[in-house]
Structure 1
């Protein structure tokens, strides 16, 4: 009896080895990567917590095209300028969004972030056209941004030069720009519903990228029956959707969409126009998801960029003073400045670009999914594989940037001090899924910074020699909590 049992165990082990070897053989044309292990795949080499250099280490070990298995799901990490451009621009088969278990719930296969195919194309095209109708690139929308920037200046001024934490005021101001675009109005900072919405967005973004998030992606059928941070995250996600639905109902009651003034009005008008179109994806749930997506992406990314900007300028007072001098020399202290004026401020433009490069806020660009087998740099990328565009590998490539790890505005200036736009500047990604609100983000960062720098000189609190620049990982890389002193310029306007 014992002999039969031992024989069965030996046969089982041999079978498992054969299955494992067969898998290795079938994947021999895949890119190299960490050894695939049962259940966890290749995640063992990434470690428990993701860091800025997580994928840099993987690339150094396995090359610019490598495969890391998330359980049984292949993830292809694409690094280097040429490989990234080929993947995101040349191969249209790599433009889909992966529908992971978490993002199926978060994006609902609707809206702008996690939709694909006809739905994505229709919703994205509508969003681009509508943002232009609402004044993106014109003085109409800039006026709204100027107003929020002035509110932020007044918020900082209340500290009277004493140490202040700029994080919440910046987040509120940036979020209110998106609210004005989508809802047609801003919220008072004391508005309880607005604060709950900001808190809900924060809960979701803190969850993404954590070990709990990874576990949910790998074992959703187990995690759905267990308590944990994912439950709180889904509740927060639903709260934002609920807020969007309430705003939609208010707009429907007001019947204002025949003279549209905001994103919801334009969308409701489009729904009415497309009522008899069988191919239309315009409906209230897609609209709610679009609002949800705009609030998440429009708040987190721009706010993070502005927080890093103030930290860097405070740590580099010489650069801050040079920016202020350029603004004063070109425009004086009284003339208002619009986004088009950035052309007359080459050093300021270079500083803004270098802030966004040196403190790139994402671990990698938006993930994609392969819709059919593709050859990339000689490797087979199988249908269904997730694609991770490693934009950090481009933004910190020592062959492209003189001092990639340093904050150096000269990266964007020629020998005569003229601004140089560089194709390696991929902070907004590239290709079909390039950031939808890239222009809005550029305008916001410029106007907010100009307004703040004309009003204040940002200094370290007494006794502080330097602010820490070690990032805090969440959906974006955030600066660690810090305080600065916003000291008014004697001639500020």
Structure 2
């Protein structure tokens, strides 16, 4: 054996001994934490994740250690909740203790704890109250936003209709239509689908979501001091964030020049008014930094997840044309062909409602969720979670739990229907999370999915250039985030002339 080989072997042996010793010391210190894989075991799981995906590995760990387990991410101890009972116990029954937002190094390098989604403590409370009330003022959950979605849905079907029965990729049109809804709230106006600034903005959002969804982001969380020096998509994300930051900052400056405090036009105006009102308050969190980062987070969260879900939904409806036919029948019976779909129709359309829920379940766009942390030393199920322990609610496992979904891997709208065909809720359906940190845009996303999908299917029959059995549902990215595959479809106009139902 050469001297260099011997030195390398000795170094590896020393490193292994140190890891084993550190692992033993950690176990001694954290005996009240949930059980979980050792460092070497976790490393083995992570190596498998390159091929099998993070969610499949977490399923394996859950099978061995149960629905609540702990693992070490670098120097951080992370607790995972992998069933609906533990998630609800934590986020609802002990909502205050679990209301913190965990530090995510891959994201915090942009936001540094600013913005409503990533903030903690008093900053989060101020921004959350303001954002929720302002979104309500601009129509979230009210008739005015419904009218905006109905209008944007018409722009979308007009754009789809321009293809005259030729196959096309619907991704851009869908993303642009969803983005225009949040644009109307944050910026006070929609954009033409061909507007170059709008196209650049959409490109930045799409690329940021794509890069942040990949497995390299998980390794960034584990090794934040090393990963910035290793090439990969995780290091491309900053330029996309910078593009979004510059766009929002410019919009803020434009709003400032024509601001009327007595009549705010949009979210940015409302924030600027509050900034002026509280400029003498040293405890105020209403700053330019929080305005820009909150707007980015609302815009990002309000665009990519919903548009990806809708894109995945159209693909599923082409693969399962019998489901699409039943939705067509329900639309014809309840709405007809001439009236625009409205939210008050949803209660009379249990099958369509079930289909949309099943699309959300299978699309599973954020399977790992956005991590929480405990705000104080917290007792949970006999364990003691020290203050600032990171907690991940694995929503993707909840959405595929065979205890709640009879056939979790299949597209089966009956998961949300009772024996008489009435819509039924499912306790494990939590794609938006729950509790104090539940997604701010939940009601908006539900309105968009229902109104846009029914408007598309009211106007068109969707068909793939491929035979249904040949349609591949494999995501383009299936790691920390799920990105639907690229595909083309035919949007074939449905026959005109059917009367609305009475």
If the length of structure 1 is used for normalisation, what is the TM-score?
A: 0.92
How is 1:314-333 mapped onto 2 (pairs within 5 angstroms)?
314-333=318-337
Q: Does 2:487 correspond to 1:491?
A: no
**2:334/2:345 contact within 8 Å kept:** no
Q: Does 2:101 correspond to 1:65?
A: no
Moved more, 483-492 or 303-312: 483-492
Aligned-pair CA distance for 1:454: 0.6
Aligned-pair CA distance for 1:247: 0.3
Residues of 2 paired with 1:15 and 1:332: CA distance? 70
Q: Does 2:104 correspond to 1:100?
A: yes
**1:456/1:492 contact within 8 Å kept:** no
**2:337/2:497 contact within 8 Å kept:** yes
Residues of 1 paired with 2:453 and 2:446: CA distance? 11
SS of 1:164 mapped into structure 2: coil
**1:207/1:475 contact within 8 Å kept:** no
Aligned-pair CA distance for 1:209: 4.0
- CA displacement, residues 219-277 of structure 1 (integer Å, 9 cap, x when unaligned): 33344456553442112111101110100000010123431121111111222222333
1:371 to 365, 370, 375: 375
**2:374/2:386 contact within 8 Å kept:** yes
Residues of 2 paired with 1:79 and 1:13: CA distance? 30
**2:32/2:384 contact within 8 Å kept:** yes
How is 1:68-83 mapped onto 2 (pairs within 5 angstroms)?
68-83=71-86
**2:74/2:223 contact within 8 Å kept:** no
Q: Does 2:316 correspond to 1:347?
A: no
- CA displacement, residues 111-157 of structure 1 (integer Å, 9 cap, x when unaligned): 11110111111111111111111122222112221222111111111
RMSD of the alignment, in Å?
Answer: 2.5
Residues of 2 paired with 1:479 and 1:150: CA distance? 24
Moved more, 171-180 or 273-282: 273-282
**1:64/1:80 contact within 8 Å kept:** yes
**Which residue number in structure 2 is paired with residue 236 of structure 1?**
240
Residues of 1 paired with 2:302 and 2:148: CA distance? 15
CA distance 1:174–1:477, change in 2 (3 Å): same
**Which residue number in structure 2 is paired with residue 30 of structure 1?**
33
How is 1:65-464 mapped onto 2 (pairs within 5 angstroms)?
65-91=68-94, 92-225=96-229, 228-461=232-465
**2:150/2:341 contact within 8 Å kept:** no
CA distance 1:457–1:19, change in 2 (3 Å): closer
- CA displacement, residues 166-213 of structure 1 (integer Å, 9 cap, x when unaligned): 111111111111111100111222222222211112222122243432
Residues of 2 paired with 1:43 and 1:370: CA distance? 25
Q: Does 2:49 correspond to 1:44?
A: no
SS of 1:53 mapped into structure 2: helix
CA distance 1:184–1:32, change in 2 (3 Å): same
Aligned-pair CA distance for 1:214: 3.1
Residues of 1 paired with 2:230 and 2:111: CA distance? 22
**Which residue number in structure 2 is paired with residue 480 of structure 1?**
485
How many equivalent pairs are there?
Answer: 484
CA distance 1:337–1:14, change in 2 (3 Å): closer
Residues of 1 paired with 2:205 and 2:24: CA distance? 45
Gaps of 5+ in 1: 1-8
Residues of 2 paired with 1:110 and 1:466: CA distance? 46
**1:42/1:71 contact within 8 Å kept:** no
Residues of 1 paired with 2:486 and 2:207: CA distance? 17
CA distance 1:492–1:373, change in 2 (3 Å): farther
Residues of 2 paired with 1:252 and 1:387: CA distance? 40
Aligned-pair CA distance for 1:30: 2.2
If the length of structure 2 is used for normalisation, what is the TM-score?
A: 0.90
CA distance 1:26–1:339, change in 2 (3 Å): same
Aligned-pair CA distance for 1:163: 1.5
Gaps of 5+ in 2: 1-10
SS of 1:207 mapped into structure 2: helix
**1:455/1:488 contact within 8 Å kept:** yes
**2:114/2:293 contact within 8 Å kept:** yes
**2:23/2:38 contact within 8 Å kept:** no
SS of 2:470 mapped into structure 1: coil
- CA displacement, residues 376-428 of structure 1 (integer Å, 9 cap, x when unaligned): 22233233321111223322222222222221111222222221233322111
CA distance 1:398–1:244, change in 2 (3 Å): same
SS of 2:387 mapped into structure 1: coil
Moved more, 56-65 or 402-411: 402-411
Aligned-pair CA distance for 1:447: 0.8
SS of 2:100 mapped into structure 1: coil
Moved more, 203-212 or 235-244: 203-212
Aligned-pair CA distance for 1:474: 5.4
Aligned-pair CA distance for 1:21: 3.0
